[in-house]
Structure 1
Amino acid sequence: MIYPDINPIALDLGFAQIYWYGLMYLTAFLAAYLLANARAKSLNNNWNTQQIEDLIFYGAIGVIVGGRLGYMLFYNLPNFLSDPLSIFYIQGGGMSFHGGFLGVLLAMVLFNRKYNKTFFVTMDFVAPLVPLGLGFGRLGNFINGELWGKVTTSPMGMYIQEQGVSRFPSQLYEALLEGLVLFIILWMYSQKHRAPMSVSALFLIFYGLFRFIIEFVRVPDVQLGYLAFDWLTMGQLLSLPMVILGIYLWFRSAKK
């Protein structure tokens, strides 16, 4: 396979440029909105249009603010400490899923206060809405030619003409597993009323596992490298607690 070398700019208006990566974020939020409406209708669980619109708004703010802040804290801390304003230099890229995840958790706490909902009622509703957005985000990484996998001679590799080597297209692996496969698992499972925490638990377990596995073929961030054992990455270190917490919540939900 040969990397198609897609122009990251989807539309150049002269006075402004629209990037594919930004369009992927917009597509992710739109997909979440449509899925939320479909989910509310199928479950008939007292989610109205106003609540869903606010849910997506709060979630979007959590993703963007948490994702950027998480990247600076988890992956680029020295630069952030030396130049705190660098958090606003978004033209250079840099978003963290784990930071966005924490941002969404905080946003949902604020959302719950407004609508007097319990935490896991909201999170179990939200969990199936997330994976497709993750998949679109990884497609954005692929278009940008970033977050590549390791050099390989495997037929599963993709030849990058600019680099003169073949690499694992880890962005596509993540789009498939963290996006499409995780969506199918959560959407099918959540079509029936389930015990509280169980849908959230499945999200934590499977996302953490998928991300941990893919990190073995993904090149770690150059400013961090491997944290230990010549294979442990920051992505794996942050994903492991998700799996542990997910297993704990699953057993708690089973008791209910």
Structure 2
Amino acid sequence: MTHPIIIAIDGHSSCGKSTMAKDLAQAIGYVYVDTGAMYRAVTLYSIRRGLWQGEKLDTETLRREMEQVRITFRLNPETKLPETYLNGENVEREIRGMEVSAKVSPIATLDFVREAMVREQQAMGEARGIVMDGRDIGTTVFPQAEMKVFVTARPEVRAQRRLDELRSKGDTTTTFEAVLTNLQERDRIDSTRAVSPLRQAEDAIVLDNSEITIPEQKAWLLKRFEEITTA
């Protein structure tokens, strides 16, 4: 198989899917798309528009305004990595905060949001040669993907990784317990939602990265890619 393929990386929150997808895309010269960032951008839009009253979202207003939500990715010339733009504004840093994390799973359960995002994602993949990570890439967005990876790790490991990321960005107030509770709730919502729930595709390769390093993970992914593309 010498033609460009579609690589779908799905899995639980804070498994490092984005890191591995970025690394793999860079190594093989493919385009990388962070679909989780797209849902986070919609969530940020809803927060900025004041559509939340406590835990309750004004769903109908968001539905009416979805056509106004434009999400694009632009390559950072220094890092050589794509960054997320919401209606022309770089929101890469803001969408990674806990306020967005606490509300992104409810947003992602909405059928009209998922339908809009899936259309965008499928359009991005038409040219192939793409690495896309998320929750439903191998099951809903690209069930025809030639390489599917389902990533998991123990909740405590994922929570510590997420906390380390927040600390690196200057957050000194969020606790480990708060992050762990958030991850467990997101797992529950992601796995039980009616539209495109998180689940392992039947033909996906499972990677539990609880105990492996990022270089080991990268080597593992490259080996799988080589096996599939040279078969």
Q: Identify the structure with the greater helix proportion.
A: 1
More strand as a share of residues: 2
Q: Which has the higher contact order (CA 8 A, sep 6+)?
A: 2
Q: Which has the larger radius of gyration?
A: 1
* TM-score in same-fold range (> 0.5): no
TM-score, length-scaled by structure 2: 0.31
